[in-house]
C-alpha cells in the first residue's frame, strides 16, 4: 500500500484509465476542430463531440441536443443562473437558493443582487435539508429560478430533487440543480425529477479537469438563456469558444462508465464508508457525523472530533489526503459555512474532517486511515486541557472564562 492515501474524491477524482485511452488519439491523430465543416478532420471531431453528447445525455435522461459544453460546473452554474436572470428579467427578478450551496452558486446569486435582483437564501435544518413548505412559501409571481444542489459537497446530504422539481413546475418557476457531486452516485433523470437546468463537471466522475456541461431543457418548457461568453456562436449560441474535444470525449466516456457501473460502485462505496465510519465511531464514540446519515452520498462522511482542531488533525495525518471543507474554499481559515448553516458552533465546525472515498479506494486503505485518525485524535486530545475537563465531568458551557 502506497502513501499518501487519497480520500478526497469529492474535491476531484483521478482519470479512469479507460477514459485516458479514449482521449489519447484526440491529442495527436484526430486533432481537428469540430467547427471546421469543410474537411474530414473537422467532421471526425464533430462526430466524437456528438457521441459524447449522447453519452452524457444518457446519464441524466436528457436529449443530446440539450447538452451544452462548458469548462466545468462553475461556468455551467454561472451560465444557468445569470443566463436565466437576464433572459427572464421582464417576467420577474426573484431567485431562490439555500445557504449551503457551493460558492459557484452563491457568488453568482450575490452578484445578481448588485444588479437589482432579489435573492432568497433559504436556511437548512440540522441535517442540511431545506423545508419544502418554506420553499413553496418563498415563491412569488416574480420568482423566475430556484437553484438547489443535488448533493452537498461537504456533508453529502441529498435534496429531494423530484419533490423540488414538481413544486417548481406547479408554480411555473425554472429549476436548476448543481449536480456536480451526484453522477455515478445517485440516479439522475431530468424528466422524472422535473429539472430544467443541470450542471456537471467531468473531473468529479473520473474524467479530465477543465470540462463540464450544462443541461438546458428544450421543451415543456423551452428554457432560453442569455449567453455569458460571445464570439462565434458555438453551442447553439449559448456558449462560444472552440470546443475542448479531448476533454469532451473524456467526459463522454466517464459518463458512460458512471451509468453502467452505478449500482456496483454504490454498493462498494457504501461498504467502504460503513467500515471507515464504524471503526472511527467505535473507537471515538463522542465524535459526530454531520448531515443526513440516510439521504446522503454513498462515498462521503463528514465527522467532527470535539476538542480537536481540524487543521491540526490534518497536519497530523499527512499520509491521508482529506479535507476540512470544500476544496474551493478551504484556503480560508473561516469554519465551513455549510456546517455553520447546519447550526454547528465554531468549535465543532473547526474540528470536522470530510472523508470521500472512490473507485480506487481499497479496504486496506480504509483500515489504515481509520487507525491513523483514531491514534492522532487521541494524541491531540491528550494535550487538550478542555478534553481533560470534560473527562472530569465539567460542563464547559457553564464555565465562566476570565480574560486578563
The pLDDT value given to residue 348: 86
Choose between 168 and 332: higher pLDDT.
Answer: 168
Alpha-carbon gap, residue 304 to 366, rounded angstroms: 18
- 35 vs 133, more confident: 133
Residue 326 is predicted with a pLDDT of 46
Pairing relationship of beta strands 212-216 and 67-70 according to DSSP bridges:
antiparallel
On the 0-12 / 13-18 / 19+ scale of CB atoms within 10 A, 350 is: buried
**What band does 403 get if pLDDT is binned at 50, 70 and 90?**
low
CB 215 within 8 A of CB 254: no
The pLDDT score that the predictor gives to residue 392 is 80
Question: So what's the pLDDT on residue 325?
Answer: 61
**pLDDT value at residue 346:** 83
Q: 323-352, pLDDT tens digit by residue? A: 986 444 445 567 889 999 999 888 888 899
Q: What's the whole-number average pLDDT of the chain?
A: 93
Q: pTM here?
A: 0.94
pLDDT for the residue 238: 77
The predicted pLDDT at position 328 comes to: 47
Q: Is the pLDDT of residue 135 over 70?
A: yes
Residues 110-114: contacts with CB under 8 Å, at least 24 apart? 111/82, 112/81, 112/82, 112/85
Give the pLDDT score at 54.
98
The more confidently predicted of residues 84 and 400 is 84
Q: Cell numbers 449560441 correspond to what residue? A: 237
Cross-strand pairs, 70: 212
pLDDT of residue 399 exceeding 80, the answer is: no
Residues of the chain within CATH 3.40.640.10 domain(s) are 17-257
CA distance 237 to 259: 29
| Paired residues of 94 in beta bridges | 118, 143
Start and end residues for every CATH 3.90.1150.10 domain found in the chain? 5-10+262-388
Of the listed ranges 184-193, 201-210, 341-350, 395-404, the one predicted with least confidence? 395-404
Q: What percentage of the chain has pLDDT greater than the value 70?
A: 97
In this predicted model, which residue has the larger pLDDT, 387 or 45? Answer: 45
What kind of fold does domain 17-257 have according to CATH?
Answer: 3.40.640
Instruction: Report how far residue 132's alpha carbon sits from residue 51's, in angstroms, rounded to the nearest whole number.
Output: 38
Give tens-digit pLDDT for 293-327.
999 999 999 999 998 888 889 999 999 999 986 44
Fold annotation for 5-10+262-388 = 3.90.1150
Active site residues: 328
Query: Residue 153 — pLDDT band, cuts 50, 70, 90?
Result: very high
Return the pLDDT at 333: 62
Q: What pLDDT score was predicted for residue 201?
A: 98
Residue 401 has pLDDT above 70, yes or no: no
Amino acid at each position: 500500500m502506497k502513501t499518501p492515501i487519497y480520500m478526497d474524491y469529492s474535491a476531484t477524482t483521478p482519470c479512469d484509465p479507460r477514459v485516458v485511452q479514449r482521449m489519447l488519439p484526440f491529442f495527436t491523430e484526430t486533432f481537428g476542430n469540430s467547427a471546421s465543416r469543410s474537411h474530414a478532420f473537422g467532421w471526425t471531431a464533430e462526430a466524437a463531440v456528438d457521441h459524447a453528447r449522447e453519452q452524457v445525455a444518457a446519464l441524466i435522461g436528457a436529449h443530446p441536443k440539450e447538452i451544452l459544453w462548458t469548462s466545468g460546473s462553475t461556468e455551467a452554474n454561472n451560465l444557468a443562473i445569470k443566463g436565466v436572470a437576464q433572459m427572464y428579467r421582464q417576467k420577474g427578478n426573484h431567485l431562490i437558493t439555500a445557504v449551503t450551496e457551493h460558492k459557484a452558486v452563491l457568488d453568482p446569486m450575490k452578484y445578481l443582487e448588485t444588479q437589482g435582483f432579489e435573492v432568497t437564501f433559504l436556511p437548512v435544518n440540522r441535517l442540511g435539508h431545506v423545508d419544502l413548505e418554506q420553499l413553496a412559501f418563498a415563491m412569488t409571481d416574480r420568482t423566475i429560478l430556484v437553484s438547489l444542489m443535488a448533493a452537498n459537497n461537504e456533508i453529502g446530504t441529498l435534496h429531494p430533487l423530484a419533490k423540488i422539481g414538481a413544486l417548481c413546475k406547479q408554480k411555473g418557476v425554472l429549476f436548476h440543480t448543481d449536480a456536480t457531486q451526484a453522477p455515478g452516485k445517485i440516479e439522475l433523470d431530468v424528466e422524472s425529477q422535473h429539472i430544467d437546468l443541470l450542471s456537471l463537471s467531468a473531473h468529479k466522475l473520473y474524467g479530465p479537469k477543465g470540462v463540464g456541461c450544462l443541461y438546458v431543457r428544450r421543451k415543456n418548457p423551452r428554457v432560453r438563456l442569455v449567453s455569458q461568453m460571445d464570439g462565434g456562436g458555438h453551442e447553439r449560441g449559448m456558449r462560444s469558444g472552440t470546443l475542448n474535444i479531448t476533454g469532451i470525449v473524456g467526459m463522454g466516456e466517464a459518463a458512460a462508465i458512471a451509468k453502467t457501473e452505478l449500482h456496483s460502485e454504490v454498493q462498494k462505496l457504501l461498504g467502504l464508508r460503513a467500515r471507515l465510519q464504524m471503526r472511527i465511531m467505535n473507537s471515538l464514540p463522542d465524535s459526530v457525523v454531520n448531515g443526513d446519515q440516510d439521504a446522503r452520498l454513498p462515498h462521503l462522511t463528514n465527522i467532527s472530533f470535539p476538542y480537536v482542531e481540524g487543521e491540526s488533525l490534518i497536519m497530523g495525518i499527512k499520509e491521508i489526503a482529506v479535507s476540512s471543507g470544500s476544496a474551493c474554499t478551504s484556503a480560508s481559515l473561516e469554519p465551513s459555512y455549510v456546517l455553520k448553516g447546519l447550526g454547528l458552533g465554531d468549535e465543532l465546525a473547526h474540528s470536522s474532517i470530510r472523508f470521500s472515498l472512490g473507485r480506487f479506494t481499497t479496504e486496506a486503505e480504509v483500515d489504515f486511515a481509520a487507525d491513523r485518525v483514531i491514534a492522532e485524535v487521541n494524541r491531540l486530545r491528550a494535550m487538550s486541557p478542555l478534553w481533560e475537563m470534560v473527562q472530569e465531568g465539567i460542563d464547559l458551557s457553564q464555565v465562566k472564562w476570565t480574560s486578563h
